[in-house]
Amino acid sequence: MASQTIATRVLIVGAGPVGLTLAIDLAWRGIDVTIVERRHAGEPPEPKCNHVSARSMEVYRRLGIAAMLRDVGLPADFPNDASYRTSFIGTEFARISIPCRRDRFTDKSGPDGHWPTPEPPHRANQIFLEPVIFQHALALPSVTILNRTQIESLEQNDDEVVATVRNLDTGEITRIVSRYLVGCDGGKSTVRRAIGAQLEGDAVVQRVQATFIRAPDLIGLQQHKRSWMTNAVNQRRVGNVIAIDGRERWMIFNYLKPDEADFDSVDRDWAIRTILGVGPEFRYEVLSKEDWYGRRLIANKFREGRVFIAGDAAHIWVPYAGYGMNAGIADATNLSWLLAAHLNGWAPAEILHAYEAERWPITEQVSRFAMAHAEKEIGRRGAVPAAIEAPGPEGDRARAEMGRLCYDINVHQYCCGGLNFGIYYDASPIIAYDGTAHPAFSLSEFTPSTVPGCRTPHVWLSDGRSLYDAMGVEYTLLRLDPGVDVSPLVAAARQRRVPLAVVDLDSREATGLYVTKLVLSRPDQHVAWRGDACPEDALALVDLVRGAGPKSDGRCEFLCRAFRIKTERFVRALVRRFYYGTAFNMRRTRSPMASTRRGITENIQKYRGSPWAVFCIPNIKDVLRGMTS
């Protein structure tokens, strides 16, 4: 029996970077939050993510902690480069140059030096990053963190979620009643299981023997300039050596070969010494073993009623491009403003449908980018030339060839501009699309654009400020021509109590980049609408972007990548059952298409609670025509 009951507006399970960022962002928007976390307060996390993306740093800039985060991690003068060598202390044959944090804002010579952002990426392991975020969250009066607390069960109804939690030290049981609950509790998520979500995809892409070591003498043994990531490539082993603190702590990844099916199938000490290039006399201390599987798994739903999942609870993939944690931070900042909009009273509950409609498709796409890169890397690791360590011209040729290959493959993941700035939402029920195609993007390539759904392009204002610093907390109407009358939109927003700031975009950079006189930017800095004048029905636009528009207005239907991905698998199975069986085998009807549409419609009714199903039923005929043409 519960000894006490706690009431909170949002309960977050998990105080890792994703849960903490969600809590801070919600608190910034005026929402009280409770977090439950199994670990002790201040207990360090596993030494996992080593990269905070530019997009995540933009988030932390808005929350007021970007500068604090830049003060942690590697020493200020430690190069953030990625080096390729025959071993850690061996011959270098390629280097991707990325400035140290001291020079991050001034050195534009690297592959990411041209990025249009006020916040370049930052190299800092999670063991340094998380304490800063934790202490900031802990200091906020509207955030309560319950450490050494584990969720045991949850129940929900139309009005609330009731979670039962247990203190791991005392055994005390507490009921926490919240309006909404968000599971940010990692790959083994209790919340994901509680809502019946299942991970789908590729269970094992690769196996990596990972060892966290202390070796203060190692840094002085290398014959080349220091680097954040040193990739060791020889015919015996291929692995990475990651500088965690730039002094004595290192993470070593030993990539197992396809025929090495078990983590213990390779002698760990031998592999470490082979990757480092050191003999038996070299001494190091094992701090922990962090072996991991490379996977590509995505939950088949991100929400059930009032319960959501985010971060590793919703998706797990091979950690290329540093986009595991950073994708979770993107989840958190997407969900935060939607929850706050509803809880603060200016948006109906329907706005929450946008979370899965927006984040699921882009998660699927990004996971495939990471998967494709992993496959290229696996291929490279399996094709190490025999002469890679040979002296003389033959070895030089082999190293030069491997160096070009390593650089060309990996500059895209270490400088992944597409994942930072190219991502767009083409599936959202709360974006006013205008029929313009979104610019394509890849892992590293992108085109800044104001097409609705894209990231609001960053520019520097004529007074030296970042555009993002000038924008409001919630919606911002950017005006390129001060003569344009925006009073209809301002009045409509006021009528619906939607917070709206108006910013005159005085910037030379905006010319040619902002192609309309008005751009409506969302709280998460994605474009919601654009035009040269206020729409005739400004109230309808405001209702659309606050989640009170029509369920389906013809513009969102079948632009939705979530529909294409999730439904194709579902519909194809039903096509075999209804269309091909009726049309080609049984010949029982003159209209197999109509029969198929009825059958599939009946089956989709079962999925009525999922947002993507809203778009399906009126348009099954169009889908089938495309599939059977």
- Tokens at 120, concatenated: 């370049």
Overall domain count for the chain: 3
* CATH number, position 21: 3.50.50.60
pLDDT for the residue numbered 499: 98
Instruction: Please indicate, yes or no, whether residues 195 and 159 belong to a single structural domain of this protein.
Output: yes
Q: Does residue 359 lie in a domain region?
A: yes
Task: Give 558-607 pLDDT, tens digit per residue.
Answer: 334 444 544 444 454 444 444 334 333 333 344 444 555 555 555 544 44
Instruction: Please indicate, yes or no, whether residues 483 and 352 belong to a single structural domain of this protein.
Output: no
Q: Does residue 66 lie in a domain region?
A: yes
Q: Does residue 39 lie in a domain region?
A: yes
Instruction: Please indicate, yes or no, whether residues 457 and 353 belong to a single structural domain of this protein.
Output: no
Q: Does residue 185 lie in a domain region?
A: yes
Domain span including residue 570? 561-628
- Give the strand pairing for 238-243 and 161-167: unpaired
Q: CA 272, CA 276: separation in Å to the nearest integer?
A: 6
Non-local CB neighbours of 129 within 8 Å, separated by 6+ positions: 17, 49, 52, 69, 72, 73
pTM: 0.87
Main-chain phi, psi angles of 332, to 5 degrees: -60, -45
Instruction: Please indicate, yes or no, whether residues 137 and 8 belong to a single structural domain of this protein.
Output: yes
Q: Does pLDDT of 28 surpass 90?
A: yes
pLDDT cut 90: percent of the chain above it: 74
520, 527 Cβ separation under 8 angstroms: yes
Instruction: Please indicate, yes or no, whether residues 497 and 609 belong to a single structural domain of this protein.
Output: no
479, 503 Cβ separation under 8 angstroms: yes
Instruction: Please indicate, yes or no, whether residues 588 and 490 belong to a single structural domain of this protein.
Output: no
Q: Which of 366, 371, 376, 328 is nearest to 203 (CA)?
A: 371
Residue finishing a domain among 331, 349, 369: 369
Instruction: Please indicate, yes or no, whether residues 455 and 566 belong to a single structural domain of this protein.
Output: no
Q: Does residue 99 lie in a domain region?
A: no
Q: Does residue 317 lie in a domain region?
A: yes
* CATH number, position 531: 3.40.30.120
Q: Does residue 565 lie in a domain region?
A: yes
Instruction: Please indicate, yes or no, whether residues 460 and 529 belong to a single structural domain of this protein.
Output: yes
Q: Does residue 136 lie in a domain region?
A: yes
Instruction: Please indicate, yes or no, whether residues 597 and 498 belong to a single structural domain of this protein.
Output: no
Task: Give 496-533 pLDDT, tens digit per residue.
Answer: 999 999 999 999 999 889 999 999 999 999 999 999 99
Q: Does pLDDT of 616 surpass 90?
A: no
pLDDT for the residue numbered 495: 98
Instruction: Please indicate, yes or no, whether residues 436 and 526 belong to a single structural domain of this protein.
Output: yes
